[in-house]
Amino acid sequence: MHMLDLMSSIIMEGDGVTQELLDSILINLIPAHKNLNKQSFDLAKVLLKRTVQTIEACIANFFNQVLVLGRSSVSDLSEHVFDLIQELFAIDPHLLLSVMPQLEFKLKSNDGEERLAVVRLLAKLFGSKDSDLATQNRPLWQCFLGRFNDIHVPVRLESVKFASHCLMNHPDLAKDLTEYLKVRSHDPEEAIRHDVIVTIITAAKRDLALVNDQLLGFVRERTLDKRWRVRKEAMMGLAQLYKKYCLHGEAGKEAAEKVSWIKDKLLHIYYQNSIDDKLLVEKIFAQYLVPHNLETEERMKCLYYLYASLDPNAVKALNEMWKCQNMLRSHVRELLDLHKQPTSEANCSAMFGKLMTIAKNLPDPGKAQDFVKKFNQVLGDDEKLRSQLELLISPTCSCKQADVCVREIARKLANPKQPTNPFLEMVKFLLERIAPVHIDSEAISALVKLMNKSIEGTADDEEEGVSPDTAIRSGLELLKVLSFTHPTSFHSAETYESLLQCLRMEDDKVAEAAIQIFRNTGHKIETDLPQIRSTLIPILHQKAKRGTPHQAKQAVHCIHAIFTNKEVQLAQIFEPLSRSLNADVPEQLITPLVSLGHISMLAPDQFASPMKSVVANFIVKDLLMNDRSTGEKNGKLWSPDEEVSPEVLAKVQAIKLLVRWLLGMKNNQSKSANSTLRLLSAMLVSEGDLTEQKRISKSDMSRLRLAAGSAIMKLAQEPCYHEIITPEQFQLCALVINDECYQVRQIFAQKLHKALVKLLLPLEYMAIFALCAKDPVKERRAHARQCLLKNISIRREYIKQNPMATEKLLSLLPEYVVPYMIHLLAHDPDFTRSQDVDQLRDIKECLWFMLEVLMTKNENNSHAFMKKMAENIKLTKDAQSPDESKTNEKLYTVCDVALCVINSKSALCNADSPKDPVLPMKFFTQPEKDFCNDKSYISEETRVLLLTGKPKPAGVLGAVNKPLSATGRKPYVRSTGAETGSNINVNSELNPSTGNRSREQSSEAAETGVSENEENPVRIISVTPVKNIDPVKNKEINSDQAAQGNISSDRGKKRTVTAAGAENIQQKTDEKVDESGPPAPSKPRRGRRPKSESQGNATKNDDINKPLSKGRKRAAVSQESPGGLETGNAKAPKLQDVAKKAAPAERQIDLQR
């Protein structure tokens, strides 16, 4: 202490501190010396604390010489300045009062490495636990935060790493950091985005209160990052938070509530296309959401309440996950069955196909193919391994056995000499996907007990945040899903007794799910559990006769699936129901009609004949051909299900009964199918009012049109009925997708896609999607395009995976949809004049809607193949009306438009087609010998107008013979707001290809409010004032619109103006939208206007009350159509200005120095 007092007095009383003396003190603070001589470090530390007032100026001078003036020769300690600053700050921050501004200067250095060193230093100073530097020196703190946007990647990376310590040690600074972390979560560098996630998750795992919802939102966003490493880190981080705070409840209910969204978000990722994402979700589910290593009761309780608290989309994703795992199990089971068969060429081919299918369900399918082949070879050689795998995928395998099997198989395939074994890793991926780690008989029993407690009111439902009713309903839905994937696990008297108890409950959904579980799992009830059988039969009979329609359907199918004397059981239901049908009491008809329809479909040999008299005498004559009640004349085109009249619901079920009856018979010997198709066509022609007495309401007519169109589509799935559907009937069915009612279009498109994607419908029905180009609602067009993409990819994949499919190319190859599309568009009721430019624009839009998706790739020279098809059609005649010259001319005109589009969009279509396409004889005649049709049915001027949207310019000095270099499109105006709000390409319509861009131009210039499904809507115009006005363009728009006002009506069709998502209310147009505007066109066009056409005020058609010629009203243009502007007081902005405003802000990196 005496030495310390002496040294202190020398420094404080002396004239100054020399550099040598300062070096002698400071050298003890350098980490190397500090570790060697702890006593010297302690002495220097105390000395500096005592003399802080005196020595601070000397220290400031030393650092000024080194940091600012760059004089490193003043001291041997110059290279350790940053270590010294850190130690001095830890001893007493006052020692560095004058040094901190110098650090701010160094933060703006031009040298990236120098900035990096200062950032590392300041990160330690700001982040240390007891530091208050950020509050004491705000300018330095703000300057330091600026380094988050540094141009130098290592500097940004170091800044992000600092944020974790700062969040944990200084929660009050989280607000300052949030905005900078937000920018860095979108950083171009993958490593920085990754570290942002690590930073936030690390802090959240320490204490959830340290991170706000906005920071967790950044992690949520990155679960959809384009890089797998970032997505994986985000997903795993969220999963760990869920397990810590929700599953284990480490921070109480409030923290659990804060991260309760994680379970839904993680399961939603299962919708992503990447197999890596799907596999990680499965892993997260098994380890974090419902840990498989828990005891059975605890595990099932976790699953039970998780399922009850998930949102609908997460439930669908979880169901899909179990379905995919079950499907993979069945593929492996089939592979093992092939091993039991003698070796043959057919067996080897089938085995190869099965191996390719399994490889597609594993990460990196290219490498997986080789590993799966190797695994298959090992299986062929090792019988014990095969038996282990058979036990693993056996329906009776328990969770504990599955765990043992996986370990045993992995042990046999492990190679001690090879620590990293990619082959073993791939096999483990496969085993983890097929192993039943959650569900077995014991687990199902535990789930049933939990549900019983909920029914009795003794469960912990309220504590888990779920109401008892929700717990029971979702629990039964969970059991229903598991009954598909694990049916054997349900076979116990205790389980079935509980399900019988559910059947007696008043909740219709609960009873329906219970019946379906019996249907899926009860195959051995009759032989093994006679007591359950005797109790179940009367309940099923009662549900089939007087239950809800869904219960009746499931009851009939349940009887058919699980009882050997099903004929007797079904007859006991059929006979009393068929005798008691009474059209005067429609509300009591719906359930009997459902039961009768399904009985006649499941047992056609027994009930087809008695059903024929029921159909002829009651269904058609008494029910469908009579309107007993008068519908409500409120003008709505659609009503909610609960508001639909019982009579219409009965008629819809009657149409479904006709279809089920025919699908059961599967033949047309009695010509019943022909008369049914004529009836359905008549319903479409009459717009749903079959009696044409005008007693039925608009919304009920929409229901019946939808039912009739769906019925024709359902019958087309059966080959014997598809053959007798005439082209006219097909066209009527197709036009339902352009129905005036939004919901009809939506539901019909969904049904069409569902059947096509399962390859149940003939290829010609895919052509119907071309008509969606005329849909006025952007979302509907986007949905149709997604459906086309999905269908085309599935068909191409099916052809690749199935060698035998090459024999059926005519019905599978997507390109063969072109002739069907051309024929369908040639018979479009809106295509009346083959030289009308506006109508040809509509045709071109429809053609390009389909061709754009088909021409994405030129596989096997498909562009030339499609061109050849169009050329070949011009050598034939329309089989529908071969002798009508006008019909053939329209067909050839559509062919020329198609050729025009194909030639303009592809430079590869001029090559020779690899083979001559085959045209469907149902739609086209055989080409005549020596017949040559080289006539062009559209003029050169029309061709240019269709491709560019502009008339052909007058020839100027040699320009006449110059070829068109490119199709001149107008500038594309990007959509704003929600349409560009995400950087994830969820929907191709939101980010269309170049060929599609001009469709949406100028649609944002004026916002037009129109009620969806209004028969005579009032248009409400709201115009956003724009500073930059182009008078020339505005003048062009006005003149175009005025010209458009002179278009006269071609047919007496009732038209509507529709927009998505508004109410379906009919009202008179008694408001003038804009008195100063030009005259409105007399005929609003159906669907989307051509690009160059301006949009006028929609007015009522002169002959509005005339019946439709083709059996339905079509949707008309809405504000979504690229029709132009309302020109009253609206001003047309420059397209460039609009595009500039609408474009999303680009990320910028701060280049501060």
pLDDT digits 0-9 by tens, 965-975: 333 333 333 33
Among the listed ranges 39-48, 156-165, 239-248, 739-748, which one has the minimum average pLDDT value? 39-48
pLDDT tens column, 172-200: 888 889 999 999 999 999 999 999 999 99
> What is the spatial distance between Cα 196 and Cα 183, in angstroms, rounded to a whole number?
10
Start-to-end CA distance of the chain, whole Å, equals: 48
Across the range 869-896, mean pLDDT stands at 91
**How would you write 1128-1153 as a 3-class SS string?**
CCCCCECHHHHHHHHCCCCCCCCCCC
Say if residues 862 and 826 touch (Cβ distance below 8 Å).
Answer: no
| pLDDT surpasses 90 at 308 | yes
Helices (H) and strands (E) in the chain, counts: 51, 2
> What is the spatial distance between Cα 149 and Cα 326, in angstroms, rounded to a whole number?
49
CA atoms within 13 A on the CB side of 188: 9
> What is the spatial distance between Cα 171 and Cα 145, in angstroms, rounded to a whole number?
16
> What is the spatial distance between Cα 473 and Cα 454, in angstroms, rounded to a whole number?
10
Q: 599 by DSSP, 3-state: which?
A: helix
Structural domain for 502, as ranges: 439-522
- Which residue bears the tokens 């066209």? 731
- Confirm whether 482 is domain-assigned: yes
Residues whose CB is less than 8 angstroms from the CB of residue 231 and which lie 6 or more positions away in sequence, other chains included: 222, 223, 224, 225, 277
> What is the spatial distance between Cα 631 and Cα 648, in angstroms, rounded to a whole number?
10
Greatest C-alpha distance within the chain: 124
> What is the spatial distance between Cα 161 and Cα 148, in angstroms, rounded to a whole number?
10
b/e string for 258-280 if b means 16 or more Cβ within 10 A? bbebbbbbbbbbbebeebebbbb
Q: What's the chain's average pLDDT?
A: 79
- Confirm whether 128 is domain-assigned: no
Say if residues 547 and 511 touch (Cβ distance below 8 Å).
Answer: yes
Q: For residue 670, which amino acid is it?
A: S
- Which residue bears the tokens 């040699």? 958
Q: Between residues 1084 and 163, which one has the greater pLDDT?
A: 163
Residues whose CB is less than 8 angstroms from the CB of residue 974 and which lie 6 or more positions away in sequence, other chains included: 980, 1139, 1142, 1143
- Confirm whether 1153 is domain-assigned: yes
Among residues 500, 522, 544, the one where a domain terminates is 522
The pLDDT assigned to 971 comes to 36
What DSSP state is assigned to residue 960?
G
> What is the spatial distance between Cα 477 and Cα 466, in angstroms, rounded to a whole number?
15
Among residues 501, 522, 543, the one where a domain terminates is 522
* 1010 and 1132 in a common domain: yes
CA atoms within 13 A on the CB side of 754: 9
Position 1057 confidence tier, pLDDT thresholds 50, 70, 90: very low
Among residues 522, 556, 581, the one where a domain terminates is 522
* 1128 and 1018 in a common domain: yes
pLDDT tens column, 102-151: 788 888 888 888 889 889 888 888 888 878 888 888 888 899 899 999 89
In this structure, the number of other CB atoms found within 10 A of the CB of residue 23 comes to: 14
pLDDT-above-70 percentage for the chain: 77
Say if residues 923 and 727 touch (Cβ distance below 8 Å).
Answer: yes
Run of H or E residues at 553: helix 549-562
- Confirm whether 859 is domain-assigned: no
> What is the spatial distance between Cα 467 and Cα 367, in angstroms, rounded to a whole number?
48
- Confirm whether 363 is domain-assigned: yes
* 426 and 451 in a common domain: no
Position 914 confidence tier, pLDDT thresholds 50, 70, 90: low
Say if residues 1067 and 1017 touch (Cβ distance below 8 Å).
Answer: yes
Say if residues 1112 and 705 touch (Cβ distance below 8 Å).
Answer: yes
The pLDDT assigned to 9 comes to 66
* 380 and 516 in a common domain: no
Task: Output phi, psi for 646, to 5 deg.
Answer: -60, -35
Run of H or E residues at 1022: strand 1020-1022
- Length of the chain measured in residues: 1153
| pLDDT surpasses 90 at 961 | no
Say if residues 791 and 753 touch (Cβ distance below 8 Å).
Answer: yes
Say if residues 491 and 527 touch (Cβ distance below 8 Å).
Answer: no
Among the listed ranges 215-219, 247-251, 869-873, which one has the minimum average pLDDT value? 247-251
Strands 1007-1009 and 1020-1022: antiparallel
Position 70 confidence tier, pLDDT thresholds 50, 70, 90: low
* 489 and 454 in a common domain: yes
Handedness of CA 509, 514, 515, 519 (dihedral sign): positive
| Percent helix, percent strand, percent coil in the chain, to nearest 5 | 65, 0, 35
Distances, alpha carbon 843 to alpha carbons 676, 711, 824, 1045, 1085, in Å: 32, 27, 10, 22, 13
Residues whose CB is less than 8 angstroms from the CB of residue 978 and which lie 6 or more positions away in sequence, other chains included: none
Q: Between residues 188 and 906, which one has the greater pLDDT?
A: 188
Distances, alpha carbon 717 to alpha carbons 174, 486, 542, in Å: 60, 30, 32
As given in the structure block, the two tokens for residue 65 are: 């010489």
- Which residue bears the tokens 């700050």? 89
- Confirm whether 366 is domain-assigned: yes
* 493 and 402 in a common domain: no
- Which residue bears the tokens 């899926």? 520
Q: 1120 by DSSP, 3-state: which?
A: coil
How many domains, in total, are found in the chain?
Answer: 3
* 402 and 451 in a common domain: no
The pLDDT assigned to 847 comes to 93
* 424 and 450 in a common domain: no
What DSSP state is assigned to residue 823?
H
Q: 1007 by DSSP, 3-state: which?
A: strand
With the CA atoms of 1041, 1045, 1050 and 1053 taken in that order, what torsion angle do they form, in degrees rounded to the nearest 10? Answer: 90
pLDDT tens column, 792-827: 999 988 888 776 766 777 888 899 999 999 999 999
* 425 and 444 in a common domain: no
Task: Output phi, psi for 1143, to 5 deg.
Answer: -65, 135
Q: Between residues 1067 and 206, which one has the greater pLDDT?
A: 206
- Confirm whether 382 is domain-assigned: yes
| pLDDT surpasses 70 at 988 | no
Say if residues 920 and 764 touch (Cβ distance below 8 Å).
Answer: yes
* 390 and 343 in a common domain: yes
b/e string for 87-117 if b means 16 or more Cβ within 10 A? bbbbbebebbbebbebbbebbeeeeeeebbb
Among the listed ranges 66-70, 299-303, 412-416, which one has the minimum average pLDDT value? 66-70
* 430 and 482 in a common domain: no
| pLDDT surpasses 50 at 434 | yes
Cα-to-chain-centroid distance, residue 194: 25
**How would you write 183-214 as a 3-class SS string?**
HHCCCCCHHHHHHHHHHHHHHHHHCHHHCCHH
| pLDDT surpasses 80 at 542 | yes
pLDDT tens column, 736-760: 999 999 999 999 999 999 999 999 9
- Confirm whether 1101 is domain-assigned: yes
Residue 627 zone, left/alpha/beta (φ > 0; ψ -120 to 50; rest): beta
| pLDDT surpasses 60 at 610 | yes
* 488 and 427 in a common domain: no
